[in-house]
């Protein structure tokens, strides 16, 4: 993970079949606890986000929010799929 400023980021995971804006308007999102980054270009701990199952074909977006104008965060997202237990 790489960041431009040493501050707190909030990650919002958004899901839906239309646009990201439509999904946010429909409140189809969850937010992680604040992700504190120690220093610019520093390493933060991995953040695990557990969500309910989503249907195949849904889109997933992640939006990072920060109180600093023009701050950025660069990160990798891994998605795990588990078989349904019926």
Q: Does residue 85 form part of some domain?
A: no
Q: Show Cβ contacts of residue 18 under 8 Å, excluding neighbours closer than 6 positions.
A: none
Q: State which residues form the domain around 50.
A: 2-74
Q: What is the pLDDT of residue 70?
A: 80
Q: Does residue 82 form part of some domain?
A: no
**pLDDT, one tens digit for every residue, the chain (86 residues):** 677 777 777 888 899 999 999 999 999 988 776 666 655 555 666 667 777 778 888 898 988 888 777 888 877 777 776 665 65
Q: What is the pLDDT of residue 27?
A: 93
Q: What is the pLDDT of residue 15?
A: 92
Judge contact between 29 and 23, C-beta under 8 A: yes
Q: Does residue 64 form part of some domain?
A: yes
């Amino acid at each position: 993970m790489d960041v431009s400023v040493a501050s707190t980021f909030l990650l919002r995971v958004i899901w839906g079949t239309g646009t990201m804006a439509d999904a946010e308007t429909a409140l189809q999102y969850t937010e992680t606890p604040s992700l504190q980054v120690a220093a610019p270009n520093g390493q933060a701990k991995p953040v695990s986000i557990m969500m309910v199952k989503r249907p195949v074909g849904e889109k997933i977006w992640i939006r990072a929010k920060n109180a600093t104008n023009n701050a950025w965060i660069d990160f990798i997202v891994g998605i795990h799929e588990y078989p349904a237990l019926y």
